[in-house]
Amino acid sequence: MCNVCGCGDSRIEGHSHEHSHDHSHDDHHHPHQHNDHHHAVTDVPQSVVIHHHYHHQGDVHHHVHYTLPVGAMPQQATHGHHHEHETNHQHQHQHSHDHAHDGDNHHTHHQPERLNSGDLHYGKGEAEVHVAGVSQRQLLTLEMDILGNNNQLAAHNREHFIENQQLVLNLVSSPGSGKTTLLTETLMQLKDHCACAVIEGDQQTTNDADRIRATSVPAIQVNTGKGCHLDAQMIHDAYHQLAINQPGFLFIENVGNLVCPASFDLGEASKVAILSVTEGEDKPLKYPNMFAAADLMIINKIDLLPYVDVNIDDCVANARKVNPEIQVIKLSAKTGEGMDAWLNWLTENRQQL
């Protein structure tokens, strides 16, 4: 779970760091005041950073930083990251600690909640992540708070999408699976029949958003910086920046990553996992959370099957070991083979809105 990934410097095209706007609807009107929580800590207004630090093995420092709104309790931390560094200790420590001296002036620092070997789960504990100096219970609490805040905003996003009769899909995959090529080909087929828009997620550049805009479909780029996924706040801000309210499709192309995006609800109707045949048939078993969260798996680049050593039937079977209900479409965005099945799936799911 990505609760310490450093997702602190995202940028949305045309979006200021601080803004307020009103959302007007047929049935209700409600103002919003936003503080942008996805910029560097120094940019976060009305917040404080809590530093948990401890020392071990000589001069190695470990720090965990949580960002809290002013007045919040510690369990309401919204972001966190961890880093370590070495120093020569050329400064005086301003905190109290016990010293055990021997002939070599060796220092032992005693800190509360010292970890023991049973806490070093390396992804196998309750929180399914390991951070030096932070217990599984602390990580689990932080994870629940982050996801709880995200899910509240995702529910708010979903209200907008349903009100505007938009089928919103979260496209997730590894880098290089062919997401953007599939998306551009899909838009070329759909754009003359209904409204379409795209929110693009990448760490840097506007390359993919530029490719989408070349199809005459509106798109906005979200650059996540060090962040490895999109979250509901980013989608909320980008959606209102796009200012789209026509019935149709909104495609969210997530950052290339099969881990963290699995945990973050954006308000979408479905996650669509895109898997290239070049990635091998065991990918669903290696990244089970993503395929468990997806309603549809697209096996892309089937035009390459004669040139790769992969068994597609085994790939489908592995996905269904993780998620027995997952639907599967095999296609090639390059040749067009199988695209009709994908377009039919889109139409059928939009009709169910």
SS (H, E, C) 309-328: CCCHHHHHHHHHHHCCCCEE
For the stretch 22-48, pLDDT in tens is: 444 444 444 444 444 433 323 333 332
Type of residue found at 300 = N
The pTM (predicted TM-score) of the whole model is 0.67
pLDDT bracket for residue 114 (50, 70, 90):
very low
Same-domain pairing of 277 and 305: yes
Per-residue pLDDT tens digits for 250-290: 999 999 999 999 999 999 999 999 999 999 999 999 999 99
Same domain, 161 and 214: yes
The token pair at 67 is: 């960002």
Per-residue pLDDT at 16: 58
Find out whether 253 and 266 touch, Cβ atoms under 8 Å: no
In a domain, 30, yes or no: no
Q: Which structural domain range is residue 291 located in?
A: 157-351
Which is more confident, 212 or 109? 212
Looking at every residue in the chain, the average pLDDT score rounds to 76
> What are the pLDDT digits (tens) for 57-86?
333 333 333 333 333 333 334 444 444 443
The pLDDT of residue 147 is 80
**Residue 39 near residue 8 (C-beta atoms within 8 A):** yes
What is the percentage of the chain residues whose pLDDT exceeds 70? Answer: 64
CB-count burial class (<10 Å; 0-12, 13-18, 19+) for 30: exposed
Do the domain assignments include residue 26? no
Residue 151 maps to a domain: no
pLDDT digits (tens, 9 = 90+) for 297-348: 999 999 999 999 999 999 999 999 999 999 999 999 999 999 999 999 999 9
Sign of CA dihedral 127, 130, 136, 142: negative
Residue in the block written with tokens 């060796």: 106
Q: Which of 146, 166, 196 is the last residue of a domain?
A: 146
Look at residue 111 and tell me whether its pLDDT is greater than 60: no
- Is 101 found in the same domain as 64? yes
How does pLDDT run across 124-160, given as a tens digit for each residue? 666 666 667 778 887 777 777 778 899 999 999 999 9
Q: Are residues 127 and 261 in the same domain?
A: no
Mean pLDDT across the stretch 98-120?
43
Evaluate whether residue 1 is within a structural domain.
no
Residues composing the chain = 353
Classify residue 40: in a domain, yes or no: yes
Domain total for the chain? 2
Q: What percent of the chain has pLDDT over 90?
A: 56
40 and 182 co-located in one domain? no
Same domain, residue pair 53 and 180: no
Domain closes at, from 90, 115, 146 = 146
In a domain, 152, yes or no: no
Enumerate residues 6+ apart whose C-beta is below 8 A from 260: 1, 2, 5, 228, 229
pLDDT at residue 192 above 60? yes
Based on the fold, state whether residues 163 and 142 are members of the same structural domain.
Answer: no
